[in-house]
Structure 1
Amino acid sequence: MVRTRPWEVSDELWERVRPLIPERPPHPKGGRPAADDRKMFAAIVYVLRTGIQWNALPRELGASSTVYDRFREWEAQGVFERLWQAGLQHYDDLVGISWDWQSADSSTVKAPFARAAVGPAPTDRGKQGTKRSILCDRRGLPLALCIDGANRHDSKLLFSTLDALVAEQPEPTVEHPQNLCLDAAYDHEAIYGELYERGYEPHVRLNRKYHTWYQPPQEEANSLEPGKTPRRWVVERFFSWLNRWRRLLVRWEKLGQTYQAFLQLACGLICFQYASHH
C-alpha cells in the first residue's frame, strides 16, 4: 500500500494559492533573491501537518528562519484568511455551502507558552489553554472561527464567532430558513433572543440544570420542532479533521494571531480537499 504524504502541495492546489500571495517589491539595487514562494508555502504546510518545531524543519525544505519569517509576513498580509475564503468559494462553486443547517461548538487545547487568548482550563486542573469556537455548515465545512481563553464560556464566544464569517451569508427567508444547532452550554434565554434577531432558528439541546421539571430524551432539542434532534455531529467531526493537523493539537505559539493563522490555513486546506473529493 502506497503511503500518502498529506503535507505535499500539489500543482492544482498551488495554482489556487499563488494568486492570493502579494507580489514582492522589486529590488533594483540587487541583493540575494527571495526564497521561492511555493517552497516556503510547502514548508509551512509541512510544519502545520506534522507539528514539527520550526528549528527542526529539514534543511531541504528551507531555512527555518526564512520559512518562519515568510509565515509571519503572510500572516500580516492576510494571506491565510484569503486562502480560507478561496477554499470556501471553491467548495461553494462545486458543492454549495449549505446555510440551511449550521452548527457551532468549541474545543480546548493546551497552550503552555501562550501570552494572548489564553486562560486556565476548568477541565484541565487550571492549566493554560485556548478555546477554539467554530461555526460549520450542514456538511461540517468551517464558516467562521474565533479563539479565546479556555476559561471563557462557550456561550460568550458564540456571537463573536457568528460575526467572524469569512463567506457572504444570504439573508434567511421563510422559504429558506437558517437553523443553528448547539449543545446544552448555549441553553440560555439571552442566546435564543439574539439568535432570533439574527434570523436563526435555534435547535439547542436542553440543559437539565435549568429544566429540572422536565426530563427530555437523550437527544431532544429545544426548538419549534419538538421532535427534531440537534445536528451537532458535523462540527464535532470537523474538530477531528482539524486535529489531523498536528501543529494545532497543542498551541505552542505565544501570539494569538499566529495560532489563528495556522487555524485559517488548516480551514482553507480542508475546504479545498473536501471540494476536490466531492
Structure 2
Amino acid sequence: MGRGDLSDREWARLEPHLPKSVGRGGRWKSHRRVINGILFRQRTGIPWRDLPTRFGKWKTVHDRHRRWSADGTWERILRAVQADADAEGRIDWSMVSVDSTSCRVHQHATGARTSAARIPGRRSQPVHHRSDEALGRSRGGLTCKIHLVSEGGLRPLAFVITPGQWGDAPQLIPVLERIRVPRPAGGHPRTRPDHLGGDKAHSSRRIRRYLRRRQIKHTIPERRDQRANRRRRGNAGGRPTGFDQTLYKRRNEVERTINELKGCRAVATRFDKRAYVFHGTVAVAALWLWLRS
C-alpha cells in the first residue's frame, strides 16, 4: 500500500457499494488499484498521463473517473457511505453549516467543446452538462465556486458547483435540497437537519421563510441594512430575528471542512474541463473524508 492509498479499513467500508458489472454483463477490473490512482491524482493534481505505472494504464483510471462522474456513480457511492455512517450514529444532525469557496480554474480546464459530451464507451448516450461548464470570470481570472453544507464531523453532506461569480444566497436552497441520506432499514431518506448555521450572505426573507416552512431552526446574523430597514418600518417590520452567538461559533466547522476538501489539489485548483467531471472530483474528495472518519 502506497502513501495515500486506501487502507484495509477504508476499503472494507467502500467495497460493498462499488458497481459489480459494466454494460452487457461485463465486470469491472482492479477497482482498488484504479480508485487509488484516482485518489493519487486528487491529492497531487498531476496530469492524468503522468500517473505512476503502479496504478495501471492512465487512460483506464481517467475513463473510469469520467464515466462514474457522468452517470452519477460517485454520488450514489457517497450517499451509500453516508447512510452507513448515519446507521452507526456518526452523523451530527444537531447542527449543520453552509458556506461556499472559490476555486481557481487552471488554463487546461478551458476550451471545452460546445457539443454534447458522451460517456466513454457509450457512443449513443449523451451526457447532460452545463452550457457554461460552471466557469465564471472575476478580477483574478476564471473561477468556479463550490457551495456546500457540512455536518459537525467536518464532512460534506451535499454540494453544488456554480460559476465563480454566482452569489451564495440563491444556492442555499438548492444545496439543502440535495441532502438525501438513505436509511438502510427502509423509509424516506433523511433530508432535514435539526439546525442550520449560515453567515450574513444567507440572511434574506426568502431563505428564512423556507427554513421555517421546513421546520429547520437556524442561526443566521441579520445584515445591518436589513436591521435598519426593519426598525424604520416600525411594527410593520416584524420582530427581530433570533440569533445565538454561542451556536454561531460552530459555523467554523464548514470552513474547516472546506479546508480539508482543498487539501486535494485537484479540488483547490480545477483542472477538469467539464463541470460534471469536476463535480465527480469534488464527490471523490468528499467520499475520501467520509472513509477516513
Q: TM-score, normalised by structure 2?
A: 0.77
Q: Does 1:59 align with 2:53?
A: yes
- Cα RMSD of the aligned pairs, angstroms, is 2.8
Aligned to 1:241: 260
Aligned to 1:273: 292
237, 242, 245: which is aligned to 1:224? 242
Aligned to 2:271: 252
Aligned to 1:264: 283
8, 13, 22: which is aligned to 1:16? 13
For residues 116 and 223 of structure 1, do their structure 2 counterparts lie closer, same or farther at Cα, with a shift above 3 Å needed? same
For residues 266 and 203 of structure 1, do their structure 2 counterparts lie closer, same or farther at Cα, with a shift above 3 Å needed? same
The 5 A counterparts of 1:37-52 are 37-52=31-46
User: What amino acid maps onto 2:242 in structure 1?
Assistant: L
User: Could you report, residue by residue, the CA deviation over 1:116-157 in whole angstroms, capped at 9, with x for unpaired residues?
Assistant: 012123xxx152111101111233321111110111100011
Contact 2:95 2:152 in 1 (8 A): yes
82, 87, 94: which is aligned to 2:81? 87
Give the secondary structure class of the aligned counterpart of 1:143.
strand
Contact 2:14 2:291 in 1 (8 A): no
93, 104, 108: which is aligned to 2:102? 108
200, 206, 219: which is aligned to 1:190? 206
Q: Does 1:202 align with 2:223?
A: no
The 5 A counterparts of 1:129-140 are 129-140=143-154
User: Could you report, residue by residue, the CA deviation over 1:25-83 in whole angstroms, capped at 9, with x for unpaired residues?
Assistant: 5999x9xx975222111111111112111011112222211211121222234331122
Aligned to 1:219: none
Q: TM-score, normalised by structure 1?
A: 0.81
More divergent stretch after superposition (242-251 vs 82-91): 82-91
Aligned to 2:115: none
More divergent stretch after superposition (139-148 vs 5-14): 5-14
CA distance in 1, matches of 2:245, 2:62: 51
User: Could you report, residue by residue, the CA deviation over 1:182-220 in whole angstroms, capped at 9, with x for unpaired residues?
Assistant: 001111112111111121122112322433589xxxxxx
For residues 201 and 235 of structure 1, do their structure 2 counterparts lie closer, same or farther at Cα, with a shift above 3 Å needed? same
For residues 225 and 157 of structure 1, do their structure 2 counterparts lie closer, same or farther at Cα, with a shift above 3 Å needed? closer
The size of the alignment, in residue pairs, is 253
CA distance in 1, matches of 2:105, 2:97: 25
For residues 22 and 170 of structure 1, do their structure 2 counterparts lie closer, same or farther at Cα, with a shift above 3 Å needed? closer
Aligned residues: percent identity? Answer: 25
For residues 9 and 188 of structure 1, do their structure 2 counterparts lie closer, same or farther at Cα, with a shift above 3 Å needed? same
Gap regions ≥5 residues in structure 2: 111-131, 182-188, 231-239
The 5 A counterparts of 1:140-155 are 140-155=154-169
User: Could you report, residue by residue, the CA deviation over 1:168-191 in whole angstroms, capped at 9, with x for unpaired residues?
Assistant: 32667xxxxx21110011111121
Q: Does 1:120 align with 2:113?
A: no
